[in-house]
Amino acid sequence: MQIQDLPYPDPGVPDARSGPRFLVWLGRNQLGGQLKSLAWGLLHFLSVCGLPFCVGFAIQAVVDRSGARLALAGGLIALCGLGIAVGDTMLHRTAVTNWITAAARVQQLLARRTAQLGSALTRRVAAGEVVAVSTGDVEKIGWFVEAVSRFTAAAVTIVVVCVALVVYEPALGIVVAVGVPVLALAVLPLLPRATRRADFQREKAGRATELASDTVAGLRVLRGIGGEELFLDRYRRASQEVRHAAVRSARMWSLIAAVQVLLPGLLLIAVVWHGVNLAREGRITVGEMITVYSAVMIMSYPLHHFVEIAMAYSFSRPSAKRAARVLALERAMDSEGSRAAVAPAGDLYDPATGLLAPAGRLTAVVCGDPDASGVLAERLGGHAAASSDLPSAFLGGVPLDELPLDSARTAVLVQDKDPVLLSGSLRELLDVPASGGVSAEDALAAAQCGDVLDALAQGSLDAENPMDARITERGRSLSGGQRQRLALARSLITDPEVLVLDEPTSAVDSHTEARIADGIRSLRQGRTTVVFTSSPLLLDHADRVVLVHEGEIAAVGVHRELVHSEPRYRAVVTRETDDEAAAVDMDHLEALEEIEETA
């Protein structure tokens, strides 16, 4: 795989059972690049470690006054130099290629999973974690994947050099062969503590990122209530916690690096001391002693890759764990469904709660728990987690989780209570897959976006048509109600068979809300629409109102009946307190008693 071949035609199906399994899967899927990097790494490291033998051979040739052997030594040194240059260049090239291709594969997998889950992703995983996975984590994962081949080349080189030294000069070679494994394994007792500190640092960094993301997303609200300083202080504290954790982690890694410097130095002293004694006794030549001495010095270079692979794994393991957790999120319908790809039609039914939304009618759902309403809306859209024990919603008698993803999305569209507006022109925002039955003008009119168009036209200096006006990132230049109405217009344009709206007018004033209710009812005539709301204005326009209490259907009717006959419904819709409800019931009883006495 070359960088110019990216993106992958198909990034594959990842092994997301755990972080280490995901790393193994990544390495296995670019085995060709790993073998290339291993080959060039062996050339580079063996050429570097071959220099001491050439130098020792040259010095001994000078001592013996042999010009032929000196010329041969010069040729071998030149050959090693060429191997070092070519091997280092190509090793760097292949290593960077492996790093980028691994990171690109992870990014493609994350993008594909995000597209499949849609708005359900941020309900299951914190937004800060998603940001961390898609930015810094992919780099750490790519680092480990590419470092594996360089580490393997370094390990093979050390084994070859140790064997060569034992064969070349057994008296000193045995000392080196025993000492080098000790050097390589000496830092192992320190790695668990270093890994824990690194994990703690990344956990703190993830929380700080999540806090920053939430603060930026709610900056308009924070300014409105004067809460900027409060959240700024929280972020400062979180940032300081990250800094302290990073310092503690750096101390441990610096200790590991110091050990990697100290122990080779001690081994070098031992080799020199033993070699000098052997040379004085005449058991080895000067050239042989210099060869072993130089080989020990040079081997500190490949030994550094043992520390690097430990650091790379320490940093990439939690990153891979987070990535695997996101990639493991899936809909049950991601597997090959047994149903046809044609989107079904009919009643929408949720067996978990008993909620029924008849086809072609406007059904309003009242749920006292906002979190429960969000989960129910997600399930109606077929976004229930595959690991959930709750059954899938049915559309026309067909389980949504048996439909292919495209068919499910064509059949049912869920608008989240906090929809996102992408940056770009209004025309681009409304350029979404649609049936063609609803025009942009009709959708904007139904969503009461007239003042939004005027605001966009006034705020844009170069757009003659409001449709060409630019919308800033996440629509932050607009008010909450304006963003909500544009998102509603976007949903109405798609004209799906079933439209599920979760609190579509929570940020809109009552007069505009009444007109929006009329617009939705008129534009969605003959289509199935489910609205999660507690607004009396929307509820009064619904054909059917369903009260969901503690996960079950508590009452079904129309708004004007339920508000008088169902206390739990009245408490949610009118925000009535328990004392007020008791007073109403008492007045009702007194009225009944007066009627009986009169009779």
pLDDT tens figures, 75-120: 999 999 999 999 999 999 999 999 999 988 998 898 888 777 765 5
Which residue in the block uniquely carries the two structure tokens 């122990």?
263
Looking at residue 90, its pLDDT comes to 94
- φ, ψ of residue 423 to 5 degrees: the values are -70, 155
Q: Indicate the burial class of 55 (C-beta count within 10 angstroms; 0-12, 13-18, 19 or more).
A: buried
| Alpha carbon distances (Å) from 157 to 146, 163, 257, 296, 299 | 18, 10, 21, 13, 9
Work out the number of other CB atoms within 10 angstroms of the CB of residue 582. Answer: 12
Compute the distance between CA of residue 344 and CA of residue 351 in angstroms, rounded to an integer: 18
What would you report as the CA-atom Rg of the chain, rounded to the nearest whole angstrom? 35
Domains 10-329 and 348-565 share a fold: no
For residue 598 the two structure tokens come to: 């009169």
Cis peptide before 189 (omega within 30 of 0): no
Compute the distance between CA of residue 9 and CA of residue 39 in angstroms, rounded to an integer: 27
Compute the distance between CA of residue 120 and CA of residue 417 in angstroms, rounded to an integer: 12
Q: What percent of the chain has pLDDT over 90?
A: 25
For residue 39 the two structure tokens come to: 């080959």
Compute the distance between CA of residue 207 and CA of residue 295 in angstroms, rounded to an integer: 47
* Predicted confidence (pLDDT) per residue in 231-267, tens digit: 778 888 888 988 998 899 888 888 888 887 888 888 8
Looking at residue 227, its pLDDT comes to 61
Q: Which of 575, 178, 114 is nearest to 383 (CA)?
A: 114
* Burial track 236-270 (b if 16+ CB lie within 10 A, e otherwise): eebeebbeebbeebeebbeebeebbeebbeebbee
- Does the CA dihedral 481-483-488-493 come out positive or negative? positive
Compute the distance between CA of residue 324 and CA of residue 283 in angstroms, rounded to an integer: 59
Numbers of helices and strands, H then E, in the chain: 22, 12
Compute the distance between CA of residue 481 and CA of residue 419 in angstroms, rounded to an integer: 12
| Alpha carbon distances (Å) from 22 to 19, 138, 371, 421 | 5, 12, 32, 33
Q: Residue ranges per domain, the chain? A: 10-329, 348-565, 566-599
Spell out, as residue ranges, where the chain has pLDDT lower than 50: 332-340, 385-387, 582, 584-589, 591-592, 595, 599
Q: How crowded is the C-beta side of 378, counted as CA atoms within 13 Å?
A: 22
| Alpha carbon distances (Å) from 346 to 395, 399, 534, 542, 557 | 6, 12, 26, 18, 20
Domain 10-329 fold is ABC transporter transmembrane region fold (1.20.1560)
Work out the number of other CB atoms within 10 angstroms of the CB of residue 283. Answer: 13
Domain 348-565 fold is Rossmann fold (3.40.50)
Q: Which of 397, 408, 395 is nearest to 332 (CA)?
A: 408
β-bridge pairing 362-367 and 528-532: parallel
Looking at residue 515, its pLDDT comes to 93
Q: Coil, helix or strand for 509?
A: coil
Looking at residue 425, its pLDDT comes to 86
What is the enclosing helix (H) or strand (E) of 415?
strand 412-415
β-bridge pairing 355-357 and 348-350: antiparallel
| Alpha carbon distances (Å) from 513 to 445, 506, 558, 563 | 13, 9, 19, 19
Cβ contacts of 348 within 8 Å, gap of 6 or more:
356, 357, 359, 380, 393, 394, 395, 412, 498, 528, 530
Instruction: Judge contact between 62 and 176, C-beta under 8 A.
Output: no
